[in-house]
Amino acid sequence: MSSALRATLSRVVKAVAVILAIVVLNFLLIRMAPGDPAAVMAGEAGAADQVFMDQLREQFGLDRPIHEQALIYLSNIVQGDLGFSYRQNTPVVDLIAERLPATLLLTVSAFVFALLAGIALGAMSAMRVGHPLDFVISIVSLVFYATPLFWIGLMSILLFSVYLGWLPAVGMESIGAGYTGWARAADIAWHLVLPATTLGLFYMAVYTRMTRASMLEVRNMDFVRTAKAKGLKAGVIVRRHILRNAILPIITLAGIQAGQLVGGAILTETVFGWPGIGRLAFDALLQRDYPVLLGVFLITSIMVVVFNIVTDLVYRVVDPRIRASA
């Protein structure tokens, strides 16, 4: 067995152990949170008497000791059963499967936008230190880094949707339009512009600042001076020597933050009415729908772990020194 395959299998085993630990921790934290789902459901049904609430607790297993509930939940997770929604009377797997594609579309689009724009702006700023363009890029990145996502989203809706009328304000597609094929894809893409940009601006600012700092550090190293002494063109030096080495810490940070995008998507999906799992988790929190919350937490945890493994693999491709030492 090759060293690379052994390293990958070791990461997968560790990832499974981490996910199981997260499942148990999430379950205990949710159960210790204030609020009673039986009381919420009984109140919505207009029959908030003790007998009815006891029946609800018995129906959903909430009357059992917490260690029994944890063991039952963990055994169900191992079998691929995420439970049943108290509020919507639907399997949690079906609810998440219905919402997950929308969240993946939003987060992947925001991630790609943030990474490409951040690296491009950071490189432009690093190669023009002291230039007015460097000053403008630094100020813009600082503003987006310090501004809350929900405020950017609301201001974007007011400017581009309400005032200018250029982009749709809420939703994933036009209701009642009946688009199919490429027309529907274009409609979804048009609705995606504002939420994806809003979600990606903060991370774009982070990648811009980090790319600039990393390139300024790398461009003074000996191998860059050697490349200049050989008479290589400036563009070749920037692409093959400076940027390729400066991008390694950005890849590490991007892999960590890729999973965090799902957390940021909760606010973005709420502001823009985007039908993803972030909005599903927000509604489940208000309704004390524990199985849905736990299901969303599990899926997002798996996404974070998977992104970290993918980041390790990409790092090995980008940096040959890691392959040589593995």
Residue 91 φ/ψ, nearest 5 degrees: -55, 140
Report which residue type is found at 243: L
pLDDT in tens, 216-255: 877 777 777 777 777 777 667 776 777 777 777 787 777 7
Record the tokens describing residue 76, joined without a space. 């169900």
**Total residue length of the chain:** 326
Q: Give SS3 for 91.
A: strand
- Report the pLDDT value the prediction gives residue 130, as an integer from 0 to 100: 78
Q: Using DSSP, state whether 84 is helix, strand or coil.
A: strand
Query: Does the pLDDT value for residue 202 go beyond 60?
Result: yes
Tens digit of each residue's pLDDT (9 = 90 or more) over 53-70? 666 666 666 667 777 777
Cβ(326)–Cβ(7) below 8 Å: yes
Angle between helices 290-318 and 277-286 (to 10 degrees): 150
CA distances from residue 303 to 19, 217, 308 in whole angstroms, order as listed? 10, 32, 9
> Which is more confidently placed, 25 or 5?
25
Tell me how far the alpha carbon of residue 132 is from its chain's centroid. 33
Closest CA to 66 of 34, 37, 32, 106: 32
pLDDT(324) > 50: no
Q: Model's pTM, two decimal places?
A: 0.77
CA angle 268, 270, 274 (to 5 degrees): 80
- Segment 16-23 mean pLDDT: 82
The residues of the chain that CATH labels 1.10.3720.10 are 101-325
Average per-residue pLDDT for the chain: 78
Rounded CA-CA distance 59/77 in Å is 19
> ∠ CA 109-111-115 to the nearest 5 degrees?
120
Determine the topology of domain 101-325 in CATH.
Answer: MetI-like fold (1.10.3720)
